[in-house]
Structure 1
Amino acid sequence: MNRDDRARRLYAWLGPALVVLLAAALRLWNLATAHDLMNQFDETYYVKDGWTLTQLGYEGSWPEDGNARFLSGDAGAFLSDPAFVIHPPLGKWIIGLGMIVLGPENGWGWRVTTALLGTAAVLLLMLIARRLTRSTTFAVVAGLLMAVDGLAISMSRVALLDTHLTFFVLLAFLFVVVDRERTMARIAQTVAARYDGDVPPSWGPLLWNRPWILAAGAALGAATAVKWSGVWVLAGLGIYLVVTDALARRRAGVLLWPADALRQGAATFVLFVPVAVVVYLASWTGWLVSDGGYDRHVADDDPATGFWSWVPLSLQSLWRFHVTMYNSAAGITAGHTYASPAWQWPLLLRPTGMYYHHDAIGVDGCAAANGCSQVISSIPNPLVWYAGVAAVLYLAYRFVRSRDWRYAVVLTGIAVTYIPWLFFPERTVFQFYTVLMLPFMLLALTFALQHIAGSGGDTYRRHTGQRLVLVFLGVALVLAVFWYPVISAMTVPYDFWRLHNWMQSWI
């Protein structure tokens, strides 16, 4: 191995490693600063639910002064009565794990696992980007943009479920990308070997040996066990797999490729969906093996009859609990100060203020004329966000022209994480849900930057494109530094916080 090869191998490891370390530092530094449970948002529920899960096996209820007692260190103030919840338990188990390890006394315990998963999501994005762009440099670019992005950082520093969901969805996409690379080559090689002279085969191979699809199904089962919106990703990726299998068979020359794709689609379903169901049900183990969970024995008094009578009473109770949860979740239409319907999200009209604390001059050492503020805003880097929206449109145009499967992966990610929310215009939703969209927007942006950096056939145009990319990244990093204090609850002058409110609706 010569010196250049050694340098490339070192860079392939060192570049991503430095980005991961940066992401970890920005997410873990001063993590417990805001010693509060964000009761405008669901941290107040998820933290206490996570703790009672570890103690009872199910989400327990708390007295009226439960928040105050928990924050004062009285983590044993919960009751044995069950609490009603509208989200599956896995994300709360993960939050509870941090408190088991570090204790429930402050934000380090209840936020650390979210911060670690947010850091791991940056690594997963780089692994996906490396396979899609075929460039370590642009994989590092994608990871760096996510590592320093305000939305990704802030959602990793509060104990909500969306970062957990993002981690498992990215894990599933990575597994699907690995499968795509291998499966398309296997289809082409097998079909080529079956040609009878110039006559193509009627049928392609029926592929069962696809461990990465099993892994993707398991990851999406875990995603759904965090939030039910993981089901949309499961359905969308399932459709993607069937369509891309069909196109691969058509390109390979299979005569009956539509029927062949349906045959393979049935096999893919068997590999993809049942494992997701098993993982999802496994997340409810604590509720199933204990007696105190909400609606735990509702089926005992009214057991199912007919076809469903063979189902164990515990699973009947679980099904009825799910019906109750769904009806409650579907009815969340109450107004909220930071509500933002999905059509607004690309415009970034109403980013979410997670936390705000103000001290007057002289309080806790504040010397600013108009007092000091601590803020956790979930706003993304504005330059990167709007550029990302434009890049998604650009990538859609490129896909129409080239039919590149790599672009299809990114556009599928955008579709399954955004479009379903447009069908719930009355539902109370928030801009911070877009943390699940963000990695796919950054992949689209990375493709656009790669095209700019490599545009044109002459040296001058390439150098100009590369300079433009460097300028864009430089401005993005400057903005990231400017925004970091107001996404991480640093104490800053109130006037400094006001400098960040570029639109009236951002306050």
Structure 2
Amino acid sequence: MQGGALLGWLAPLAVAIFGGILRFVRLGEPKAVVFDETFYVKDAYSLLRYGVEMATLGDAKNPIADRRLIAGSLDIFKQCAQPSECASFVAHPPLGKWMIGVGEWLFGMNPFGWRFAAALAGTLSILVLARVARRMTRSTLLGCLAGLLLALDGLHLVLSRTGLLDIFLMFWVLCGFACAVADRDWARHRLVRWYESAAGSGTGPRLGWRPWRLAAGACLGAACAVKWSGIFFLIGFAVLSLMWDMGARRALGLREPYRGALAYDLPGGFGAMALAPALVFTASWSGWFVSADGWGRNWERATSSGPLFFVFDSVRSWVQYQLQVLGFHSGLEAYHPYMSEPWQWPLLLRPVSFHYPTDLPPSACGADKCAQAVLGVGTPMIWYAAALALLGLVAWYVSSRDWRAGATLLGVAVGWLPWFYYAIADNRTMYLFYMIPVVPFMVLALVLVAGLVLGRQDAPATRRATGAAVVGAYALVTLINFWWLYPVLTAETITHAQWWARMLMSSWVTAAPK
């Protein structure tokens, strides 16, 4: 048993190290500010320097500051008579930018520094997924398969190598889910111990302190503190946790399981899944609260009438700021050549070009024309197979009510379906990489179906061998698919012909370069 537990850690760690190598090798390439790094890496540096986001040189995309950063200059901020005059309105909470800032603090304002935290979060997420998949399937093999597939997903790789916020959103969502699953096991174990030592009847016991549920709430609060879209996962997993509590009490045969869950589990659940996330989210804004220079801070008015008024007016100004952010997101309709609609995302119809310089000399690759690309696209063998696996999970859940299928489907639903509302009601500008928090649940769907293909441990040897061959063949083809795309995911310099061969659909590019 101890050997199995040790292997259950060592094998996922080995998979995570493999994924980490893919993410950290050449992390400083391209030596450029790619896509929306132009916003977040400067905001992160501003947080380190001022505690709040300050305006930088240049226009919306900050080309002047971009060039200065690549040249090694940190003189990127506007000069203002008063710092508050340079306060910058930002559309996302600070936590993800603080995480980027840690890398900048450790390694400097260079591409490796501002991508370090993303690569670390991406690598750790491979380990977390492998462990939670192992917990859900009770199989180290399937857990490692989950970690391997996440390591081989192209979109996950690109976002793990880019100073954007979305990989941190995915990381905290996944950690919150993993903690919720651990809490499910913990609570059921406590209930079984109570049942074995007491006359099981009525509503059941209070379970007391539930550290894993509190950790789940804190992680999901951190997801909201990276991007507001984390709220969908917080609501979904909070409801799921309560449903698991009801199901656990009902499985014991208690006469009033639902009343017991509402009386004993719901109050603690509210503290863990509502109050704790709210505290984490608010704490992420500490720099804004203690600074006089943040957007909409009104420091002079807040400090004019004593401590109580300071707290009241600060909270009022902060809430007003959040409402402005909500209005910004609701009205975001600007055209972008790589924007896409939610129903296009599972089919990878319109990925995002993060980087494609047009001035590479022929000597860079030894051909008439060279290419160096970072394309934010998922690995097709993972995404298309996951679409089929999710359909299979729907049938499985309808027929068996298996909790693992239900939890996986919920993770996909709360991460994907809300965007349909914004597409229909607001015509909002959206991108494929908004799906990154859903990718771990797509991988879980694949792994659960792989478990069905492998069959039970006591299945006939030929049945197990056939299943292993099918799953192994799929993993191998996925590895080949990823290897083929790897040059256009990591800015390797290749010939234009090699780049074009990897554009599997014409919609993957705005227009074919001449």
> Does residue 155 of the first structure (1) align with residue 159 of the second (2)?
yes
Deviations 1:39-60 (CA, angstroms, capped at 9, x unpaired): xx42111000000100000001
Tell me the SS of whatever aligns to 2:373.
strand
Deviations 1:274-324 (CA, angstroms, capped at 9, x unpaired): 111111111111111110011011893899xxxx98952111111111111
Tell me the SS of whatever aligns to 2:301.
helix
What amino acid maps onto 1:356 in structure 2? Y
* 2:333 counterpart residue number: 333
* 2:367 counterpart residue number: 368
Maintained 8 Å contact 2:218/2:272:
no
Distance 1:67 1:493 in 2: 27
* 1:95 counterpart residue number: 100
* 2:206 counterpart residue number: 206
What amino acid maps onto 1:277 in structure 2? A
* 2:25 counterpart residue number: 29
Distance 1:60 1:309 in 2: 26
Maintained 8 Å contact 2:303/2:310:
no
* 1:411 counterpart residue number: 409
Tell me the SS of whatever aligns to 1:394.
helix
Maintained 8 Å contact 2:96/2:225:
yes
* 1:467 counterpart residue number: 469
What amino acid maps onto 1:236 in structure 2? G
Tell me the SS of whatever aligns to 1:177.
helix
> How is 1:345-494 mapped onto 2 (pairs within 5 angstroms)?
345-359=345-359, 362-363=362-363, 365-369=364-368, 371-425=369-423, 426-454=427-455, 457-494=459-496
> How is 1:179-198 mapped onto 2 (pairs within 5 angstroms)?
179-191=183-195, 193-195=197-199
Deviations 1:473-507 (CA, angstroms, capped at 9, x unpaired): 11111111111111001101111111112211122
Deviation for aligned residue 1:461: 2.6
TM-score by length of 2: 0.91
Maintained 8 Å contact 2:302/2:311:
no
Larger mean Cα displacement after TM superposition, 17-26 or 74-83: 74-83
Maintained 8 Å contact 2:224/2:231:
yes
Deviation for aligned residue 1:233: 1.0
Distance 1:382 1:319 in 2: 42
> Does residue 126 of the first structure (1) align with residue 130 of the second (2)?
yes
> Does residue 175 of the first structure (1) align with residue 179 of the second (2)?
yes
Distance 2:359 2:69 in 1: 23
Distance 1:381 1:361 in 2: 29
Larger mean Cα displacement after TM superposition, 433-442 or 408-417: 408-417
Between the aligned residues of both structures, percent identity stands at 38
> Does residue 51 of the first structure (1) align with residue 34 of the second (2)?
no
What amino acid maps onto 1:109 in structure 2? G
Distance 1:273 1:164 in 2: 20
Distance 2:384 2:316 in 1: 47
Deviation for aligned residue 1:412: 2.1
Distance 1:288 1:301 in 2: 11
Distance 1:350 1:298 in 2: 45
- Distance change (3 Å), C-alpha of 1:194 and 1:129: same
Larger mean Cα displacement after TM superposition, 67-76 or 464-473: 67-76
Deviations 1:97-131 (CA, angstroms, capped at 9, x unpaired): 11111110x20111111111110110110110110
Unmatched tracts of structure 2, length 5 or more: 59-63, 510-514
Maintained 8 Å contact 1:418/1:437:
yes
Question: Alignment RMSD, CA only?
Answer: 2.3
* 1:269 counterpart residue number: 270
Deviation for aligned residue 1:11: 4.2
Maintained 8 Å contact 1:299/1:316:
no
* 2:342 counterpart residue number: 342
Distance 1:43 1:129 in 2: 32
Distance 2:299 2:127 in 1: 43
- Distance change (3 Å), C-alpha of 1:66 and 1:360: closer
What amino acid maps onto 2:16 in structure 1? V
Larger mean Cα displacement after TM superposition, 263-272 or 317-326: 263-272
Distance 1:361 1:77 in 2: 29
Distance 1:321 1:361 in 2: 47
